[in-house]
């Protein structure tokens, strides 16, 4: 073993969403910024999907997508970089679960389980959200959701898929 061997990169999944302004440009800019980050390589990017808003806040439809990355960043550093990119694109946090210029969520980080302030991995509710599962299963059907199911297995029983349109 070489004395300078690096830890192998970890395969992680990110969920992206936008429902304010030029949503296509916001997703592109977010992925470009992530891909230019030292320690992040974007290895797959889903198509974009138009999805009805989930949650208690009435708001416009979203554009959602997922990306698979390989990263040498730890989970907290990866989250911090995602939040930094959100801020760089002008995200303001006011209404909880309200409309946003860009949202970047860490869905999966290897086989890791993380429960920390502001960071739960695997994302605890992604297995119920068609707006996550449809793009994720497109690029990583075997993605481990952490509940014993893969993305494609969860998608098979996930409601709301008929309201989602590939863009
Ligand atoms: C009761 C209470 C039922 C809360 C649902 C669901 C909260 C989803 C937040 C909920 C509840 C969320 C996106 C979205 C949001 C998105 C689409 C969230 C966070 N983000 N809808 N709604 N795409 N289509 O990215 O996911 S707010
Ligand atoms: Mg989100
Ligand atoms: Mg978020």
Instruction: Confirm or reject CATH 3.40.366.30 for domain 10-166, answering yes or no.
Output: no
What would the pLDDT profile of 124-156 be if each residue is shown by its tens digit?
Answer: 999 999 999 999 999 999 999 999 999 999 999
Residue 35 three-state SS:
helix
Residue nearest to atom 16 of ligand 1 (CA): 17
Q: Residue 3: its pLDDT value, please?
A: 83
Q: Residue 62: its pLDDT value, please?
A: 98
- Closest atom of ligand 1 to CA, residue 17: 25
Asked if residue 2 has pLDDT above 80, the reply is no
What would the pLDDT profile of 74-105 be if each residue is shown by its tens digit?
Answer: 999 999 999 999 999 999 977 999 999 999 99
- Phi-psi sector, 53: left (phi>0), alpha (psi -120 to 50), beta: beta
Asked if residue 28 has pLDDT above 80, the reply is yes
Mutate-to-test residue for ligand 1 from 53, 54, 86, highest number of ligand atoms within 8 A of CB: 54
Catalytic choice (41, 91, 129, 162):
91
Paired with 136 in beta bridges are none
Mutate-to-test residue for ligand 1 from 55, 158, 164, highest number of ligand atoms within 8 A of CB: 55
Residue 107 three-state SS:
strand
Cβ–Cβ < 8 Å for 145, 53? no
Average pLDDT over the chain reads 96
- What is this structure's pTM? 0.97
Q: Which tokens in the block code for residue 87?
A: 């801020």
CB atoms inside a 10 Å sphere around CB 60 = 12
Residue nearest to atom 25 of ligand 1 (CA): 17
Q: Which tokens in the block code for residue 153?
A: 């297995």
The stretch 12-39 carries a mean pLDDT of: 98
């Amino acid at each position: 073993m070489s004395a300078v061997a690096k830890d192998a990169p970890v395969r992680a999944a990110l969920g992206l969403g936008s429902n304010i302004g030029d949503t296509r440009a916001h997703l592109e800019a977010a992925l470009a910024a992530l891909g230019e980050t030292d320690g992040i390589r974007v290895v797959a990017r889903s198509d974009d999907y138009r999805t009805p808003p989930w949650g208690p806040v009435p708001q416009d439809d979203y554009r959602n997508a997922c990306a698979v990355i390989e990263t040498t960043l730890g989970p907290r550093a990866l989250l911090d970089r995602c939040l930094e990119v959100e801020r760089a694109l002008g995200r303001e946090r006011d209404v909880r679960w309200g409309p946003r210029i860009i949202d970047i969520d860490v869905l999966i980080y290897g086989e890791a389980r993380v429960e920390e302030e502001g960071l739960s991995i695997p994302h605890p509710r992604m297995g119920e959200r068609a707006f996550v599962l449809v793009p994720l299963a497109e690029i990583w059907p075997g993605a481990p959701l952490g509940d014993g199911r893969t993305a494609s297995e969860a998608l098979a029983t996930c409601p709301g898929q008929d309201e989602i349109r590939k863009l």
